[in-house]
């Protein structure tokens, strides 16, 4: 072989060069469709969104406003600013109530499902089923389960002596309602998420937790058995094994699920659109819905783009912070 | 778990009890939907709901079906979902092959850019796309694609997720195979077609399922880009029917049942591939 390489003449080098050029042509040829489509419908629009956000743009392009739209949304225009900050707070409240419950449930279920278990496949199939059903159909069902008059949710509440609720039509806060039932009046800031938002949280948990169960199961399967054997040899109790082995070694998976779940929560649109469309009294208008309202229902494309851009920034900032803070606590095998 | 009852029970009983309780909560809405779709309106609005319809009313389905242009909605959705899936799988296979098997300048950067597009929330790109799809467009270059099929298909013909998943699989195909193929004089396409693809059938199935289900369930995009039933998908049909049906909840639930039936059937048949795909996507590398 070495002899051949040393004897490599100009023609052979040319042949190799030709082959390398050929390989490049092939590669970019194969990638061309994807590059074009992502470029036109995803990457270019991302930049173009920023451009739009710099203009007054009511259906058609108007005057250049610089960062004026952003100013309006953040502080200058009281109505817009109030709507924006409120939507952001609604979005984060929604996440705060959904993600931990969803992940906790998924983790416990995955842990129970893991290992030898009859009917494991059946459970797994069932838990994942809501995730593949469309939000519209699922929301139709939930609207009915939580119906103020005919819903089973109120029937169950009745069993424990709680009066009927309006659920997706109820703007009052969860804590406010609980306190007023006990005869205590709470200040506004302590009212908690509206009952409508709580209903959407319940829907989201039902809809998404199966996806997380599958990922947690895969993560559990990735932990080598040696750790468990070693721990048992050392006489560790089951609880110790869970706390000292399973949880730390599962942390990369937990981290992944957390990232996916938060991004999902920040972007959720369908459930809100179908279940409440922002109401009652705007208590479920997340930032995603505010974008939709501003641009599609009010025809304010410039302002809508600015809100969308801020939402994108919030998602990005949140993801990066999360990577920074949490990544250092993740234990890799 | 220290009470005397819990101690007396074998652990597995507790396990099954909790898993079944969760399963019951997960399954109940589906059961509720199907069972109420067969009741008459009076029984469907009885509190607490009856477990079974006392009299079966299968004609609810006929009534619901006739109340809206469902055949057209279904045809639209099926056409869009199938075309999108086929196209997306083809572009993903080609791109994944290039990333996994070819050496070219810019490979790492390009792959990084692709992955970065996953971070762009669709809300941010919705408005520019909305403008681009109009006739006027931007600076006179508009696609004029409102109320068409292509507006629901073309932008979704590239899926980074599918490319990522297929690339992972292609990387696991031993190098020796491609070397052998090259020695036999097979080019890239020949190798891809006769060796790589037959080996990757499970991955292709997974990717297709994700694409199909995603397309079937999409809501926001068609809501904005279409306005007439001639081009609108099933999801928007159901959403519109919800407003029209008013308080005819039994009909609404019948409609909900037949709109999710195809996906549920598909899922039950192919769930193994889907679940494996999800599990694999969770494992980085």
* Helix, strand, coil distribution of chain A in percent, nearest 5: 75, 5, 20
Distance of CA A82 to the CA centre of its chain: 24
Average pLDDT of chain A is 87
Sign of the alpha-carbon dihedral angle for A290, A256, B273, B25:
negative
- Gap between the Cα atoms of B73 and B51, Å rounded: 31
Location of structure tokens 């981290």: A255
Q: Beta-carbon neighbour count of residue A58 at 10 Å?
A: 13
**Best mean pLDDT range from A140-154, A256-270, B8-22, B253-267:** B253-267
For residue B263, pLDDT over 70 is answered with yes
Q: Is the ipTM of this complex over 0.90?
A: no
For residue A213, pLDDT over 80 is answered with yes
pLDDT average, residue stretch B2-17: 69
For residue B284, pLDDT over 60 is answered with no
Enter the tokens of residue A137: 């159909």
pLDDT at A74: 93
In the stretch 171-190 of chain B, residues with CB closer than 8 A to chain A read 188
User: Worst-scoring range by mean pLDDT, B76-80, B81-85, B121-125, B148-152?
Assistant: B121-125
- Gap between the Cα atoms of B207 and A25, Å rounded: 26
Residues ≥6 apart with Cβ < 8 Å to B115? B160, B164
Which of chain B's residues have a Cβ under 8 Å away from the Cβ of A106?
Answer: none
Asked whether residue B102 is assigned to any structural domain, the reply reads: yes
Asked whether residue B4 is assigned to any structural domain, the reply reads: no
CA A233 → CA A33, A222, A226, B76, distances in Å?
Answer: 56, 21, 10, 61
pLDDT classification of A226: cutoffs 50, 70, 90: confident
pLDDT classification of B282: cutoffs 50, 70, 90: low
**Does A306 touch chain B if contact means CB atoms closer than 8 Å?**
no
Angle between helices B107-117 and B70-101 (to 10 degrees): 150
pLDDT at A325: 79
pLDDT at B215: 93
* Secondary structure of residue A62 in the 3-state scheme: strand
For A219-228, the CB contacts below 8 A with 24+ separation are A219/A250, A219/A252, A219/A253, A219/A254, A219/A256, A219/B282, A219/B283, A220/A110, A220/A111, A220/A114, A220/A246, A220/A250, A220/A253, A221/A114, A221/B279, A222/A253, A222/B283, A223/A249, A223/A250, A223/A333, A224/A333
pLDDT at B50: 84
Which of chain A's residues have a Cβ under 8 Å away from the Cβ of B129?
Answer: 41, 45
Which of chain B's residues have a Cβ under 8 Å away from the Cβ of A151?
Answer: 47
pLDDT at B1: 45
- Gap between the Cα atoms of A303 and A292, Å rounded: 11
In the stretch 250-279 of chain A, residues with CB closer than 8 A to chain B read 252-253, 256-257, 266-267, 269-270, 273-274
**Domain CATH for B196:** 1.10.3720.10
Domain that holds residue B130: 68-245
pLDDT at B6: 53
Burial label for A52, CB within 10 Å (0-12, 13-18, 19+), is buried
pLDDT classification of A7: cutoffs 50, 70, 90: low
pLDDT classification of A332: cutoffs 50, 70, 90: low
For residue A102, pLDDT over 50 is answered with yes
Share of chain B above pLDDT 90, in %: 57
Residue of A26, A215, A301 lying closest to B127 (CB–CB): A301
Asked whether residue B285 is assigned to any structural domain, the reply reads: no
pLDDT classification of A23: cutoffs 50, 70, 90: confident
pLDDT at A316: 84
For residue A46, pLDDT over 60 is answered with yes
Fold entry, domain A82-327: MetI-like fold (1.10.3720)
CB contact under 8 A, A37 and B242: no
DSSP string computed for A204-218: HHHHHHHHHHHHHHH
Share of chain A above pLDDT 90, in %: 40
Q: Delimit the domains of chain A by residue range.
A: 2-41, 82-327
pLDDT average, residue stretch B169-187: 83
CB contact under 8 A, B264 and A112: no
pLDDT at B271: 85
How do residues A58-94 score in pLDDT, each as one tens digit? 878 888 888 989 999 899 999 999 999 999 999 999 9
pLDDT classification of B283: cutoffs 50, 70, 90: low
**Does A134 touch chain B if contact means CB atoms closer than 8 Å?**
yes
Q: Phi and psi dihedrals of B141, rounded to 5?
A: -95, 85
* Secondary structure of residue A57 in the 3-state scheme: strand
pLDDT at A318: 83
For residue B3, pLDDT over 60 is answered with no
Distance of CA A206 to the CA centre of its chain: 14
Residue of B32, B48, B117 lying closest to A42 (CB–CB): B117
Which of chain B's residues have a Cβ under 8 Å away from the Cβ of A40?
Answer: 155
User: Worst-scoring range by mean pLDDT, A191-195, A250-254, B2-6, B106-110?
Assistant: B2-6
pLDDT at A2: 43
pLDDT classification of A3: cutoffs 50, 70, 90: very low
pLDDT average, residue stretch A105-124: 88
How do residues A240-293 score in pLDDT, each as one tens digit? 888 888 888 898 889 889 988 988 888 889 999 999 988 789 889 999 999 999
Q: Which residues pair with A194 in a beta bridge?
A: A173
Residue A129: enclosing H or E segment and its boundaries?
Answer: helix A120-132
- Gap between the Cα atoms of B104 and A257, Å rounded: 33
CB contact under 8 A, A37 and B154: yes
**Does A214 touch chain B if contact means CB atoms closer than 8 Å?**
yes
CB contact under 8 A, B220 and A273: yes
Q: Phi and psi dihedrals of B48, rounded to 5?
A: -70, 155
> Which stretches within B104-200 are classed as H helix?
107-117, 122-133, 150-153, 160-171, 175-183, 188-191, 197-199
Instruction: Give chain B's domain count.
Output: 1
Identify whether the C-beta of residue A146 lies closer than 8 Å to the C-beta of residue A162: no
Identify whether the C-beta of residue A62 lies closer than 8 Å to the C-beta of residue A56: yes
pLDDT classification of A1: cutoffs 50, 70, 90: very low
Q: Which residues pair with A58 in a beta bridge?
A: A60, A300
For residue B138, pLDDT over 90 is answered with no
How do residues B234-247 score in pLDDT, each as one tens digit? 999 999 998 888 77
For residue B30, pLDDT over 90 is answered with yes
């Amino acid at each position: 072989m070495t002899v051949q390489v040393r004897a490599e003449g100009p023609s052979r080098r040319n042949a190799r060069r030709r082959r390398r050029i050929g390989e490049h042509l092939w590669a970019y040829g194969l990638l061309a469709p994807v590059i074009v489509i992502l470029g036109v419908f995803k990457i270019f629009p991302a930049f173009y969104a920023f451009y739009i956000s710099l203009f007054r743009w009511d259906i058609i392009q108007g005057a250049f406003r610089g960062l004026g739209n952003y100013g309006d949304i953040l502080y200058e225009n009281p109505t817009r600013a109030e709507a924006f900050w409120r939507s952001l707070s609604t979005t984060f409240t929604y996440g705060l109530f959904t993600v931990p419950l969803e992940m906790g449930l998924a983790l416990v279920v995955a842990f129970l499902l893991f290992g030898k278990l009859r009917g494991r496949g059946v459970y797994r199939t069932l838990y994942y089923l809501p995730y593949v059903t469309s939000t519209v159909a699922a929301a139709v069902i939930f609207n009915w389960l939580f119906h103020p008059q005919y819903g089973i949710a109120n029937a169950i509440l009745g069993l424990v002596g709680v009066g009927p609720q309006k659920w997706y039509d109820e703007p009052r806060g969860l804590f406010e309602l609980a306190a007023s039932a006990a005869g205590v009046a709470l200040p506004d800031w302590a009212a908690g998420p509206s009952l409508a938002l709580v209903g959407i949280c319940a829907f989201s948990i039902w809809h998404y937790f199966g996806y997380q169960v599958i990922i947690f199961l895969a993560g559990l399967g990735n932990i080598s058995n040696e750790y468990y054997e070693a721990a048992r040899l050392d006489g560790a109790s089951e609880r110790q094994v869970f706390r000292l082995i399973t949880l730390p070694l599962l942390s990369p998976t937990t981290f992944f699920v957390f990232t996916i779940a938060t991004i999902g929560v920040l972007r959720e649109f369908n459930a809100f659109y179908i279940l409440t469309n922002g109401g009652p009294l705007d208590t479920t208008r997340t930032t995603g819905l505010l974008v939709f309202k501003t641009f599609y229902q009010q025809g304010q494309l410039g302002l809508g783009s600015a809100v969308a851009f801020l939402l994108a920034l919030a998602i990005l900032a949140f993801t990066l912070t999360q990577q920074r803070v949490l990544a250092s606590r993740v234990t890799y095998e | 778990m220290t009470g005397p009852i819990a101690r007396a029970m074998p652990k597995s009983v507790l396990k099954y009890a909790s898993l079944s309780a969760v399963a019951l909560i997960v399954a109940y809405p589906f059961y509720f939907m199907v069972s109420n779709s067969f009741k008459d309106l009076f029984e469907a609005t009885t509190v607490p709901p009856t477990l079974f319809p006392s009299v079966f009313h299968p004609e609810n389905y006929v009534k619901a079906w006739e109340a809206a242009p469902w055949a057209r909605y279904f045809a639209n959705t099926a056409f869009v979902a199938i075309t999108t899936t086929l196209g997306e799988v083809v572009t993903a296979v080609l791109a994944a092959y290039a990333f996994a098997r070819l050496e070219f300048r810019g490979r790492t950067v390009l792959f990084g850019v692709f992955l970065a597009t996953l971070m762009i929330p669709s809300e941010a790109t919705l408005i520019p796309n909305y403008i681009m799809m109009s006739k006027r467009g931007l600076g006179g270059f508009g696609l004029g694609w409102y109320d068409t099929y292509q507006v629901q298909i073309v932008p979704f013909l590239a899926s980074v997720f599918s490319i990522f998943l297929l690339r992972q699989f292609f990387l696991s195909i031993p190098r020796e195979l491609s070397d052998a193929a090259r020695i036999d004089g097979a080019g890239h396409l020949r190798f891809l077609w006769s060796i790589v693809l037959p080996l990757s059938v499970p991955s292709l199935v997974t990717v297709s399922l994700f694409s199909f289900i995603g397309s079937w369930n999409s809501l926001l995009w068609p809501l904005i880009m279409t306005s007439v039933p001639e081009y609108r998908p099933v999801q928007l049909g159901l959403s519109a029917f919800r407003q029209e049906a008013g308080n005819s909840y039994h009909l609404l639930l019948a409609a909900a049942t037949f709109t999710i039936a195809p996906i549920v059937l598909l899922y039950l048949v192919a769930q193994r591939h889907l679940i494996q795909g999800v599990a694999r996507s969770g494992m980085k590398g």
